[in-house]
């Protein structure tokens, strides 16, 4: 059993609990498409908890949500309609499989489904064509409808850049609690242009401070400055 990222990297060694959970599937061989998630006690997934679990190596409690099946017991089924592939995928799952979840679906009533998802404070909904064959990427076969969630955070620091990314890595964000404590909220960095990264580096550099301003340290190292609201 191997766990591959979207770009083809083999991360099996990082998620041994998920590897063990997948052994419960009654198959000779299969290629399952899915996503690892951190799930709160109320059943809602949490991206910030997923980030923290990955940063700290606490991946044993993550759940693998399976939403597509491309290959099963020696047969490629990628060209079958999505609805047929999901039917075969569902047949591999039982009600009691710790660490594994079948990503179920509803047919029709998309606007009502998204509205209900937003009421539950979920990220949104993904709509797919039930008659489509599998295709990597989007290819116009699915649409993500996000729930609009806005919140203001305080920039409390940043991480150093890695790889080819220049100037800074991610921004470290925080928020004040009602009793005045400054708490870590997470990281942000996707979609920032090189020009904006350069501007942020110039703005944040002079604010670097020796003392971490957060009440509780974040799960990974970073550089901290005076809280920038």
Helix or strand run (H / E) with residue 48: helix 47-56
Q: How confident is the model at residue 166 (pLDDT cuts 50, 70, 90)?
A: very high
Whether the model pTM is above 0.75:
no
- The pLDDT of residue 89 is 95
Instruction: Decide if domain 12-105 falls under CATH 3.30.470.30.
Output: yes
**Both structure tokens of 215:** 């009440």
Give the C-alpha separation, 196 to 88, whole Å.
47
Say if residue 136's pLDDT is above 80.
Answer: no
Q: Is residue 195's pLDDT more than 60?
A: yes
Can you give the residue ranges of every domain in the chain?
12-105, 151-228
Element (H, E) at 44: none
State the average pLDDT over residues 29-58: 86
Task: Give the whole-angstrom CA distance, residue 47 versus residue 65.
Answer: 14
pLDDT of 80? 96
Residue 183 CA to residue 153 CA, distance in Å, equals 10
Neighbours of 203 (CB within 10 A): 12
Place of tokens 């076969």: 141
Which range has the worst mean pLDDT, 58-67, 119-128, 130-139, 160-169? 130-139
Render 211-229 in DSSP notation, one character per residue.
S---SS--SS--EEEEEE-
Distance CA 204, CA 210 (A): 14
- pLDDT of 181 > 50? The answer is yes
Main-chain dihedrals φ then ψ at residue 11, nearest 5 degrees: -110, 25
Average pLDDT over residues 16-32: 92
Whether 137 shows a pLDDT value over 80: the answer reads no
Strand partners, 175: 183
Q: What is the mean pLDDT of the chain?
A: 87
Is 18's pLDDT higher than 90?
yes
Q: Are 50 and 40 in contact (CB under 8 A)?
A: no
What pLDDT, on the 0 to 100 scale, is given for residue 229?
A: 45
Q: Is the pLDDT of residue 36 over 90?
A: yes
Round to whole Å and give the CA distance between 52 and 209.
24
Share of residues in the chain with pLDDT > 90 (%): 40
CA R_g for the chain:
21
The dihedral built from the CA positions of residue 176, 179, 184 and 186, taken in this order, carries a sign that is negative
Once rounded to an integer, what is the mean pLDDT over residues 92-116?
89
Lowest mean pLDDT among 44-48, 163-167, 170-174: 44-48
Q: Is the pLDDT of residue 94 over 90?
A: no
Classified as helix, coil or strand, 19 is: helix
Question: Distances in Å between the alpha carbon of 214 and those of 82, 136, 227?
Answer: 47, 41, 9
For residue 13, pLDDT over 60 is answered with: yes
């Amino acid at each position: 059993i191997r766990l591959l990222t979207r770009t083809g990297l083999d991360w099996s060694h990082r998620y041994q609990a998920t590897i063990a959970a997948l052994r419960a599937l009654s198959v000779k061989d299969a290629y399952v498409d899915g996503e690892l998630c951190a799930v709160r006690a109320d059943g809602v997934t949490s991206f910030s908890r997923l980030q923290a679990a990955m940063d700290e190596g606490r991946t044993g409690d993550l759940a693998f949500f399976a939403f597509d099946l491309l290959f099963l017991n020696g047969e490629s089924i990628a060209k079958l309609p999505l609805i047929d592939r999901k039917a075969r995928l569902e047949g591999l799952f039982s009600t009691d499989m710790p660490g594994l979840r079948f990503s179920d679906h509803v047919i029709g009533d998309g606007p009502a489904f998204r509205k209900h998802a937003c009421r539950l404070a979920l990220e949104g909904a993904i709509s797919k064509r039930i008659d489509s064959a599998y295709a990597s990427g989007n290819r116009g076969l699915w649409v993500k409808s996000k729930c609009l969630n806005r919140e203001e955070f305080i920039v409390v620091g940043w991480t150093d850049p890695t790889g080819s990314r220049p100037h800074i890595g991610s921004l470290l964000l925080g928020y004040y609690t009602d009793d005045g404590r400054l708490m870590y909220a997470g990281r942000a960095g996707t979609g920032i242009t090189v020009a904006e990264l350069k501007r942020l580096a110039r703005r944040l550099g002079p604010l670097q401070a020796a003392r971490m301003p957060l009440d509780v340290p974040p799960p990974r190292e970073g550089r901290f400055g005076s809280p920038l609201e």
